[in-house]
Amino acid sequence: MEQLPKDFLTLNDWSPETIIRALDLADRLKAELRAGTPHRLLEGQSLGMIFSKSSTRTRVSFEVGIAQLGGQGLYLSTSDIQLGRGETIPDTARTLGRFLDGIMIRTYAHQDVVELARWTPIPVINGLTDLLHPCQVLADLQTIREEFGRLQGLKLAYVGDGNNVANSLLIGCAKTGVDIRVATPSDYRPDPLIFEQARGIAAKNGSELLWTSDARAAMEGVDVVYTDTWVSMGQEAERAERMKVFLPYQVNRELWTLAGPDAIFLHCLPAYREMEVSEEIIEGPMSRVFDEAENRLHAQKAVMVMLMGRA
């Protein structure tokens, strides 16, 4: 079994085999939870949860997850700890490393997470940055595999803003053999370095990767359709402009007719109905958004066990 990196900052840190191992563990933990079988694999351990951004799914899933694993979670808002008053990341990292067994952080700048991981001896989990959202995409892959029984050879269309979710989907799909087509306006493409990185990974794993500005072209015959909010946290001043630019990328009934006959719809939530997705799609039989949200719990428990318990 390969040596795991200390931290989980990006899916690119994990090999395809490790990603599949994490998904297998997430499935097992989900089945055990539903069967009422305890799995207190992190008994007595403590997870510090640093939040610079508001959160529903990330906070609740990590806090419940560490409790189900026998540990405890400490909510650390940057408005409450000294990091928010100017203490350096290295000082915070080294201090928390003396108290805790792991850290999850949800913040803005990805470099802050990299620096935190550099300066603390304990595992750091990226709960979200402006660049990447690896925990979300691990749960997405779990949801897709549950639906289709496989990942290799499936086709996914991401339609909307080339944001942190799109960046992580590019890596996650490339690592697991999923063909991914990303449709965004020209000025809102995914990170170019990540795109090229993912293109190289995809070539090694037998999957195809495409960017287009044409949402209809991306949707043709796909198995999975994914979108996200057009206005992420910190972009509120751009709201009016974004509404105009992204309107042709709304996932609605007309666009859905181009997808494959058994296609499913995913959204990382929160969703803004009649903006990036129509009500009839997100509430329709094709939607798996709440299965996907639930899988944040199971996928993140797998990450914690693999890093903090060295499974």
Q: Which tens digits make up the pLDDT trace of 212-251? A: 999 999 999 999 999 999 987 677 778 888 989 999 999 9
281/241: higher pLDDT: 281
Task: Write the CB contacts of 308 (distance below 8 Å, at least 6 apart in sequence).
Answer: 42, 45, 47, 71, 101, 102, 123
Q: Is 296 marked active-site?
A: yes
Cα(138)–Cα(302) distance, integer angstroms: 10
User: Among 57, 228, 298, 300, which one carries the catalytic annotation?
Assistant: 228
Percent of the chain exceeding pLDDT 90 equals 91
Q: What is the pLDDT of residues 58-106, one digit of tens each?
A: 999 999 999 999 999 999 998 889 987 889 999 999 999 999 999 999 9
What is the band of 129 on the pLDDT scale with cuts at 50, 70, 90?
A: very high
User: Can you give the pLDDT at residue 260?
Assistant: 98
Q: What is the pLDDT of residues 17-48, one digit of tens each?
A: 999 999 999 999 999 999 999 999 999 999 99
Q: Is 98 marked active-site?
A: no
Which segments of the chain belong to CATH 3.40.50.1370? 11-133+295-308, 136-292
User: Can you give the pLDDT at residue 85?
Assistant: 83
CATH topology of domain 11-133+295-308: Rossmann fold (3.40.50)
User: Can you give the pLDDT at residue 310?
Assistant: 64
User: Can you give the pLDDT at residue 4?
Assistant: 94
Closest CA to 19 of 33, 34, 32, 4: 4
What is the band of 128 on the pLDDT scale with cuts at 50, 70, 90?
A: very high
Q: Is 268 marked active-site?
A: yes
Q: What is the mean pLDDT of residues 277-298?
A: 98
User: Can you give the pLDDT at residue 288?
Assistant: 98
User: Among 191, 223, 268, 288, which one carries the catalytic annotation?
Assistant: 268
User: Can you give the pLDDT at residue 2?
Assistant: 78
User: Can you give the pLDDT at residue 83?
Assistant: 87
Q: Is 110 marked active-site?
A: no
If you average pLDDT over every residue of the chain, what do you get?
Answer: 96
User: Can you give the pLDDT at residue 241?
Assistant: 87
Cα(18)–Cα(22) distance, integer angstroms: 6
What is the band of 122 on the pLDDT scale with cuts at 50, 70, 90?
A: very high
User: Among 45, 68, 136, 250, which one carries the catalytic annotation?
Assistant: 136
Please give the C-alpha separations between residue 111 and each of 36, 116, 128, 260, in angstroms, as whole numbers.
40, 9, 12, 39
Closest CA to 92 of 105, 210, 305: 105
Please give the C-alpha separations between residue 190 and each of 28, 129, 165, 200, 245, in angstroms, as whole numbers.
33, 14, 9, 15, 16
pLDDT at 311 over 60: no
User: Among 57, 59, 106, 242, which one carries the catalytic annotation?
Assistant: 106
What architecture does CATH give domain 136-292?
A: 3-Layer(aba) Sandwich (3.40)
Q: Is 214 marked active-site?
A: no
DSSP string for the chain? -PPPPS-BS-GGGS-HHHHHHHHHHHHHHHHHHHHT----TTTT-EEEEEESS--SHHHHHHHHHHHHTT-EEEEEETTTSGGGGT--HHHHHHHHHHH-SEEEEE-S-HHHHHHHHHH-SS-EEEEE-SS--HHHHHHHHHHHHHHHS--TT-EEEEES---HHHHHHHHHHHHHT-EEEEE--GGGPPPHHHHHHHHHHHHHHT--EEEES-HHHHHTT-SEEEE--SS-TT-GGGHHHHHHHHGGG-B-HHHHTTS-TT-EEEE-S---BTTTB-HHHHTSTTB-HHHHHHHHHHHHHHHHHHHHS--
- Give the pTM: 0.96
Q: Is 136 marked active-site?
A: yes
Closest CA to 113 of 56, 69, 163, 53: 53
User: Among 110, 267, 288, 296, which one carries the catalytic annotation?
Assistant: 296
